[in-house]
Amino acid sequence: MANTLGEFRSYRQRMNDRIMESEHLGIKRFFNLDTAAYRDGALDARTKELLGLVASLVLRCDDCVDYHLIQCVDAGLADAELHDAMNVALVVGGSIVIPHLRHAFATLEQLRAPRSGAPAEG
Amino acid sequence: MANTLGEFRSYRQRMNDRIMESEHLGIKRFFNLDTAAYRDGALDARTKELLGLVASLVLRCDDCVDYHLIQCVDAGLADAELHDAMNVALVVGGSIVIPHLRHAFATLEQLRAPRSGAPAEG
Amino acid sequence: MANTLGEFRSYRQRMNDRIMESEHLGIKRFFNLDTAAYRDGALDARTKELLGLVASLVLRCDDCVDYHLIQCVDAGLADAELHDAMNVALVVGGSIVIPHLRHAFATLEQLRAPRSGAPAEG
Amino acid sequence: MANTLGEFRSYRQRMNDRIMESEHLGIKRFFNLDTAAYRDGALDARTKELLGLVASLVLRCDDCVDYHLIQCVDAGLADAELHDAMNVALVVGGSIVIPHLRHAFATLEQLRAPRSGAPAEG
Amino acid sequence: MANTLGEFRSYRQRMNDRIMESEHLGIKRFFNLDTAAYRDGALDARTKELLGLVASLVLRCDDCVDYHLIQCVDAGLADAELHDAMNVALVVGGSIVIPHLRHAFATLEQLRAPRSGAPAEG
Amino acid sequence: MANTLGEFRSYRQRMNDRIMESEHLGIKRFFNLDTAAYRDGALDARTKELLGLVASLVLRCDDCVDYHLIQCVDAGLADAELHDAMNVALVVGGSIVIPHLRHAFATLEQLRAPRSGAPAEG
């Protein structure tokens, strides 16, 4: 996995660990709720990740966009499907979303890049 | 169709007509793009309406929530599916979304209400 | 208790009941987390209600402002303290907060109004 | 002046008076700063009112939109100019702005309506 | 042209190209609408760029601020005019705008810097 | 003081100086109002800094979070109190606040780090 995205993942993991170490019950429960919201239910996880992606784009949160793009790619969504979702976010959220669209395309480029040989994440 | 929602529809139609009468090319094109964004494409219209619903909830726009709920119900989405999408919006957007969740439930109640006899809209 | 605020309370209660009847586990847990966040902890409930009030003002949510003002008044906060908190919200959030400041003052007026004789809510 | 807009003006005035009566120095100064920001300076008042209108639209505040539309009409701006500014707001802010665009058109309609005979406001 | 701003421009161009290569009709049309919104019309381009700048500041988007500042400087707007517009954005949007005001001043500094000898962009 | 936070402080100071040099009366007065809003009043400075922190988190402004965390630590607030305030922000603002919660924990880590020997700021 290319540079920036890898750094994001390790920073994200390290700081989430710190947050958990605070042992604040409310915060811990919130994190659990957040994870649970994207599990298969009446809607499947794949659709929910698209919902998370569009919500992240219209609220203009690059880290959240990255997180949900990773999940969307893992869930097997094709570029054309992701572009269609991004278009909804763009129309709803307006040109102020464009910088985050650029960010999303840059992240997607990294996620789709052929990785020379090795197992990337694990 | 019950009262408030019917009023919303006719106000919405009347003012959209006014906006079109301005003959502003940019505004007209924007409205076309907006309509087109929810048509079947790489993603189907049904999924796109869910995306529109969640975007509307996290951006906390009651009129937009109403519009997309109407479309979602027309597209055949079940309550359990809509609740699952609303839950994603709630977790992403926080308790500040709750008043709009109440609004969404009130609108959905109207949309699901058995209508005594007559053809409502058409 | 005067009109509008009483109506808000009963609408709020009725729709919260509807939401609970959906039996969506994620949504129910979110509502529990929300309630728990304002209980005495490292910070006391009184301070937390002020935090909720300011968050509601800068996010410009009138229903949330009403809810937290009710709690603040119940917690015994004086007008001067509430005005001081509102001032922070105004400076942080800008003139776009002013309509919600007007709303907050109107609600506070209702909450402070001497109620002729009778037990208002209960 | 037609109904709703007149009501908005008197509610706005009454609550602003209440806010001033709080004698909170910070809040009073903020209101002064707010008024001063739209006076002729390096940019003229007319241009500044357009800036206020667009800021109000993208931040989706109907009361603020009404206030600045009143000022814009007083400053002699033509409908075509206002529509052009609204179009910028629509493109920047996205379809989520549309309900506020409808509101702006409805307000403008009231402001442009021929008033039968009498002096309206004063 | 100094470093960061030059980098922003080339990143912006490269990613916009990528987005266009997606060949998503909705997205392409949105980009066209966005460009068209700032052309001379009932309002001149110079005024529209000021509208774009203020909208970007209150929505707190640094990349958008940079883009519109570049356009504003190209359109011949003086610092005093830009400061006046920024003041409107600050009052409307509140202290939360201040970090973006700092960013705007830093960008403006770069844009006004005498460039040693050579033609910078072209 | 560790790296990033020190850089933030000097950048912040340098750009605030630049902004003051613009001699824009409205902007200067706004900065004064902003400073004054957090002084002891009906509420003490300590409580007001907590209000500033929560407002900054729900509005998702990392620079503002850093500034108010510095003030909160100076005012003697304990980690458990800060976590409790952060939890309110998280519940009100939703998962979109999480990246800023990570940022807040990273900043707090720097602020609490034992500084080898020397007087840090002054």
Do the Cβ atoms of D91 and B15 come within 8 Å?
Answer: no
Q: Whole-prediction pTM value? A: 0.94
Do the Cβ atoms of B33 and E36 come within 8 Å?
Answer: no
pLDDT at residue F118 is higher than 70: no
How many E×F Cβ pairs under 8 Å? Answer: 47
Close Cβ partners of E59 (under 8 Å, ≥ 6 residues apart): A96, D58, D59, D92, D93
Mutation target vs D (from B8, B11, B12, B15; most D CBs, 10 A cutoff): B15
Q: What is the pLDDT of residues D24-49, one digit of tens each?
A: 999 999 999 999 999 999 999 999 99
What residues of chain D have any CB closer than 8 angstroms to a CB in chain C?
11-12, 15-16, 18-19, 22, 24, 26-27, 30-31, 34, 55-56, 59, 61, 63-64
For residues C3 and A68, the model is more confident at A68
Do the Cβ atoms of E91 and F30 come within 8 Å?
Answer: yes
Do the Cβ atoms of A93 and D97 come within 8 Å?
Answer: no
F121: its two tokens:
């700021």
Q: How confident is the model at residue C115 (pLDDT cuts 50, 70, 90)?
A: low
At residue B114, the pLDDT reads 80
Close Cβ partners of F38 (under 8 Å, ≥ 6 residues apart): C88, F45, F48, F49, F52, F71
Q: How confident is the model at residue A115 (pLDDT cuts 50, 70, 90)?
A: low
Closest CA to B99 of C107, C65, A61: C65
A101: its two tokens:
């669209």
Close Cβ partners of E1 (under 8 Å, ≥ 6 residues apart): E9, E110, E115, E120, E121
At residue B4, the pLDDT reads 81
Q: Which residues from C are below 8 Å from E95, CB to CB?
A: 91-92, 94
C-alpha distance from residue D119 to each of A58, C4, C97, D12, D115 (Å):
45, 33, 32, 20, 8
C85: its two tokens:
């908190």
At residue B23, the pLDDT reads 96
pLDDT by 10s per residue, chain E, length 122: 346 889 999 999 999 999 999 999 999 999 999 999 999 999 999 999 999 999 999 999 999 999 999 999 999 999 999 999 999 999 999 999 999 999 999 999 999 998 644 444 43
CB E62 within 8 A of CB E100: yes
F87: its two tokens:
């939890």
Q: What distance in Å separates the CA atoms of residue A55 and residue B92, rounded to the nearest whole number? A: 7
Close Cβ partners of E35 (under 8 Å, ≥ 6 residues apart): none
Provide the CA B55 distance to its chain's centre, in angstroms: 10
Chains that touch F (3 or more CB pairs under 8 A): A, B, C, D, E
**Three-state SS string across chain E, please?**
CCHHHHHHHHHHHHHHHHHHHCCCHHHHHHHHHHHHCCCCCCCCHHHHHHHHHHHHHHCCCHHHHHHHHHHHHHCCCCHHHHHHHHHHHHHHHCHHHHHHHHHHHHHHHHHHCCCCCCCCCC
Per DSSP, the residues of chain B read --HHHHHHHHHHHHHHHHHHHT--HHHHHHHHHHHHTTSSSSS-HHHHHHHHHHHHHHTT-HHHHHHHHHHHHHTT--HHHHHHHHHHHHHHH-GGGHHHHHHHHHHHHHHHSPP-SS----
Provide the CA B35 distance to its chain's centre, in angstroms: 12
Q: Which residues from F are below 8 Å from C26, CB to CB?
A: none
Q: Which residues from B are below 8 Å from A92, CB to CB?
A: 37, 52, 55-56, 59, 64
Q: How confident is the model at residue D121 (pLDDT cuts 50, 70, 90)?
A: very low
pLDDT at residue D79 is higher than 50: yes
Mutation target vs D (from E84, E90, E95, E97; most D CBs, 10 A cutoff): E84
Residue of chain B whose Cα is closest to the Cα of E34 = B26
Q: Which residue positions in chain B have pLDDT lower than 50?
A: 1-2, 116-122
At residue B120, the pLDDT reads 43
Return the residue matching tokens 């500040």. Answer: B96
Do the Cβ atoms of D90 and B26 come within 8 Å?
Answer: yes
Q: What distance in Å separates the CA atoms of residue F63 and residue E99, rounded to the nearest whole number? A: 7
Q: What is the pLDDT of residues D44-78, one digit of tens each?
A: 999 999 999 999 999 999 999 999 999 999 999 99
At residue D4, the pLDDT reads 81
At residue B117, the pLDDT reads 45
For residues A1 and E27, the model is more confident at E27
Q: Which residues from B are below 8 Å from D83, CB to CB?
A: 22, 24, 27
Do the Cβ atoms of F109 and A18 come within 8 Å?
Answer: yes
D71: its two tokens:
């000022």
Q: Which residues from D are below 8 Å from E87, CB to CB?
A: 37
The pLDDT of A50-62, averaged and rounded, is 98
